[in-house]
Structure 1
Amino acid sequence: MIVTLKNKEISASINSFGAELVSLSKGETNYIWKIDTKYWNKTSPVLFPIVGRLKNDSYTYNEKDYALSRHGFARDHEFKVIHQTETKAIFSFSSNEDTLKTYPFDFELQISYTIIEDKVIISYKVINKNEVEMPFSIGAHPAFTIDKNFTDYTLVFNSKEHFESHVLENDLFSGKTKNILSSKNTIPLFYDLFTEDALVFKQLKSSVITLEYLNKPFLKINFEGFPYLGIWTKEKAPFICIEPWFGLADNHNSSGKIIEKEGIEIIASNSKFDCQFSIELF
C-alpha cells in the first residue's frame, strides 16, 4: 500500500512494505530516485536491527549463534499504518515468529513521516518489550536523484571537517582509512570516490549536509544526534545515498558477540529509543 502525504509545498509517498519512502516531490521534481534494477532495487530502505554486514552474516548472543543478513530484516516486511493525516503517517512493525529466529527480542519499530512546509521529518522509535536489555542498530538509506552531470554536484557540510573515511573490504571494515580530498567543508562528487564501496565517517563535527548542484542548494539533511554517516552510489548510477546511522558494519576482527559490536545501541528493558532526521527541499 502506498501512503501519500501532501501540503502546499511538497508531497511524500511511502510504501507500507518496509515503510520505505518512494517519492518526495516539490513542483515537478522528484528528489527520490526512480528504481532502475540494473543499479539497485531500493529507494530508501530502513536498516534494522543492524546496519551493514555482520562478519560471516552471523552473531552470538547468550552463547547462541544467529544468522542475520546485511542491513537486517525491517526493509523486507509489511508495516501497519497506525496513524494517518494529510501531513503525517506512522508505520509500525513488531517482532514475530520469523524475526525471533534471527533476532531473539520482542520489539516494536515505529517509523513516522511528517511534512512541514518544504521539509519531511523522518522519526524512528524502537521499543524494547523484553525484561532484558536489547542490542540494536538503526539507520536510513535514502537515494536522491542525480539527473544531471554527477560532477556538477557537491556535498557541503556545516562544519569544517577532516574527511577520514573508514574503508570497507567485502562489506566489512578493513581497519584502513583514507582521506577524502576536500576544500574546507565540501566534497565534490565523482564516481571514483566510491570504487571501494561507501564513504563512512565516524567522527564528523557536522550535523547538516547540503547537496548542491552548480553551487546552488538542491536538498539539505539535518542528522543531528546520529553518530555515523554513510555516502554511497554505484558507477554511473543516477543517485547519491546520504545515510545517517546509529550502527556500523562489522570489521574483520569482530568477536561476533553482538553486545561487543562497534556502534551497537542498547535499550534498557521495557524502554524505548527515539531519533529523527529531516530532508529539506529547494
Structure 2
Amino acid sequence: MTVLPVALIHVTGVRRLTPRMVRCTFAGDGLDAFPTWPDQQLKLLFPRPGQTAPRLPEAPADDGMRWYQAFLALPEDERPWMRSYTVRAYDPERQWLTVDFVLHGAHESAGPATRWAATASVGDTLARYGPSAVYARPLPLDAPGPILLAGDETALPAIGSLAEALPATARATAWIEIADRAEEQPLPTRADLTVHWVHRDRAPAGPDGALLAAVRAARLPADPALAWLAGEAGAVRSLRRHLIADRGLDKRRIEFAGYWRRSLTQDDAPTEEDLVEARERIAAAQEEAGRTGSEQAG
C-alpha cells in the first residue's frame, strides 16, 4: 500500500444527480491506502486558468507545515484554489473515490470549484490533500437513542455517508435544506431514517433561515444520542445554540461544522465567529479525548 497525502487525481466518471449537484469519481496514485470513515473530509486543489493540472509545490507532502508554506509561496496566479469537500464514497476494488459537487449560482459568477464541476469531463485532473486518519473522529452511530442530522445541500454528501454507515438498529431523523423539490435525492440506509426536505422556494422568508425555522418548529425525538449539524457557518451556529439553549441538549452530544460562509470563501480570513467555532470544536475534541482516556485508565 502507498500512503500519499498529496497526489493528482483524474476524473473517471461524471453524473448529474440533480440540477444543482454533480457526482464525480476519481482515480489516482495512493488510493490503494485510502482511509475511510463517515463524514470524511479532504482538500481538493483546482487548476488556474490555462493549466491542465494544478501546480503543486515541490516540498515533501509528509511534512504538512513545510508543504503548506511552500504552497503559499507559489505565485498567486499559479497557486491552485484549495477547497474542502466530503468523500461521498470509496470503491476499494477499483480504488476510486466519489465526490459530490454543489453548483452554486450562475457559471459566470460562481467560484472556481463550481466552474470546474459544471464542465467536468472524464480525464480532467485535480489534486487532493489528505485525508488523514488523524482527523477522523468516531461518531456514536450505534449508541442507543435517536440521532438528529441537519444541514443544507453542502452537507448532503456527508449525510449520505452517515446514513449508509448507520446500523439497522439505529433511528435517525434528518432535516435537509435544498433549493427546491428537484434537489431531493435518495439516501440509502439500513436504519430507520426519516428525512424532512426543507425547500427554500417554499419556506417563508425569515432572518434565521429556512433550516433553523424548520428545526425550531419540529417535534424532536426525546433524548437524542447525537446531533450532527453542518452547512453554512452562521446557520450551524444558530442551530447549535437552539439545541443547547431551547431544547436542553448536552453540547457534548452535538457534532457541528461550518462548511461555508455567506459572502466569503475559504480564501478569506476567518471571522471572529469562525475563530470562536474553531476553539469550541478543539475544546470539545480535547474534552472527549480526556474522557476516553479516563475511561480506558479506569
Higher relative contact order (CA 8 A, sep 6+): 1
Q: Same fold (TM over 0.5)?
A: no
**Larger Rg, first or second structure (1 or 2):** 2
How high is the TM-score relative to the length of structure 1?
Answer: 0.29
In terms of fraction of residues, the more strand-rich structure is 1
In terms of fraction of residues, the more helix-rich structure is 2
